[in-house]
Every structure is written in C-alpha cells, then in structure tokens.
A and B are shown apart, each in its own frame.
Chain A
Amino acid sequence: MATVLHKEFIIERDDYDNAGNASSRIKQTLAQLGVPSPILRRIAVAAYEAEINMIIHAWGGKITVDVDDTGKIRIEFRDPGPGIPDLSKALTPGWSTASPKARELGFGAGMGLPNIKRVSDDFDIKSSPEGTTLTLGFNAL
C-alpha cells in the first residue's frame, strides 16, 4: 500500500473569512485524482462541516488528507481544544452550543457531526479538553 497523496491544511482560529477554503481545495485536489462525483460530494460535505466546526467551536487546527493506492481516503481534523464536553449530545441531531456568530454564518443547527457521520464510510472521534481528533475514512474505489 503506497501513499498517492498527502496534504496538510492549517485552519486559523476565528478565521471566519476563509471558512471553507481548505475544503474547497481538498475537493479540487481529489477531483484531479479522479474521485467519482458522488463520493467527492460526500467528502466535500464532511470536510466542510468539520472545517466549520474547527473555526466556530475549536481554536483552529490542522486538516491532514491521505490517499493510498487502494483508493482509501483518510482525513484527520485535529484541533488543540477546548474539546467537546459531551460527545453523545454533540452527535445528537439538533443539539448545539453554537455562538451567535456561528449562526450568522448559517451554521449552528446541531446538524454538523450527525451529518458528517452520515456521509462518511468510517467515522471516529476522540475529544478531551486538550483537543478533538476527528478521523474520517472514504472508499473511493
């Protein structure tokens, strides 16, 4: 199994103006690799929701994209905190702690994590006050 693509994107804290830029670049990059549209759309939706979460809930972070030659795509979203106090609630549709600023952007309906889980083939999330790591897997072949 060989790595076909490895990319990292730094997400700055409170960088509302550029929210979505990394996801847009991820989508374009994976499209160039030939990832089929329906899968690409699922990846883009998950990446965008997770990127927005890093900006509106966390203190920024790093997105790492890895693609191997079997068509497996792994995207990790790692932030430095403050963590999700109650993961089971955060995974419940409609539950939200979003700020008024997040709602101004059109987010904060409590649909983010449930929607990410819905569109991903593999979903893993770990959170503590030191940070949250969300790892998603997609099968592109």
Chain B
Amino acid sequence: MKCHEIVEALGGKIVACSDESLLDKEYETAFATDLMSDALALIQDSPETTVLITGLCNPQSLRTAEMLDVGMIVFVRGKKLSDDLIEIAKGMDTVVATSPFTMYETCGNLYMLGLGGIYGYSAS
C-alpha cells in the first residue's frame, strides 16, 4: 500500500512529512508495539517499507523510527502530538500520521487491506 492510501484507509491525518514524494512510497509490512525495545530488536528486514504502529506518543517512538530507517509511523487512537514532537518529526525522513482507531482496529484494517506482518503473514 502507498503511504497516502494507508492514511486514507484509516481516515487518519498526516502530522509530518518532509517531502511530498514520500506519500507515494509503497509499504509492504507493518509492526505494532508500544515497546520500542521490541521494535529495535525485531524490525530487521526492510524497515524502509515497514510501518510502525504505536500508541506510545513520545520522542522515543520517533527516535526508534529514525534509528531503524522506518519509513512511516502511525500513532493510534487519534493521539495529538505535542509541538515538541511535531518539531522532531519534521526533521526526520519518516512520515508521521495518526489513526482515529485503536491499535487493534488500526492493525485489523491495514491487515485486511494487504499490509502483512514482518514474519510474512498476510491476508492476501
């Protein structure tokens, strides 16, 4: 799925995007967690085409995405990012978006639309 298709499918919002062309970037997998240790340990293959889905709305989730080269991060439950977080996000190559759904619903929606997991499971 393309980045903008993910946001549209969720009825979400783009919070930060340093380059418009990033909205057309294709994503193949997603990983959902509030535990950044898990993301750092488990997102090993193709992080550039992996979406990080989290409810952890703090600088550490953005830094984790930055260190891993994760291309897109989605904050669930319509969480509002602080001005400080938005400033960090604007300085990154990662697209930052929000989803109005819970983490479970966000994952379910995207899974059914073909975005698979990092262990290779997918609905299609």
Contact = CB atoms under 8 A, between A and B. Distances in A.
Category for how many chain B residues contact A: 20 to 34
Interface residues of A, number: 26
Contact of A19 (B38, B63, B68): B63
Contacts of B60: 19-20, 52, 105-107
Contacts of A47: 67
B69 interface: yes
Contact of B68 (A41, A104, A112, A118): A41
B40 A48 contact: yes
B35 A106 contact: yes
Interface in A95-113: 104-112
Contacts, number: 68
Contacts of B40: 45, 48-49, 111, 115
B56 interface: yes
B116 interface: no
Interface string A24-64: 10010000000001000100110111001000000000000
A66 to B, nearest CB: 20
Given A19-B60, A105-B58, A106-B60, A45 B67 contact: yes
Interface in A52-89: 52
B47 A24 contact: no
A139 B56 CA distance: 33
B109 interface: no
Closest 3 CB pairs of A and B: A20-B63, A106-B36, A109-B37
12 contacts: A17-B59, A23-B67, A24-B66, A41-B47, A44-B66, A48-B67, A105-B60, A108-B37, A109-B37, A111-B37, A111-B38, A115-B41
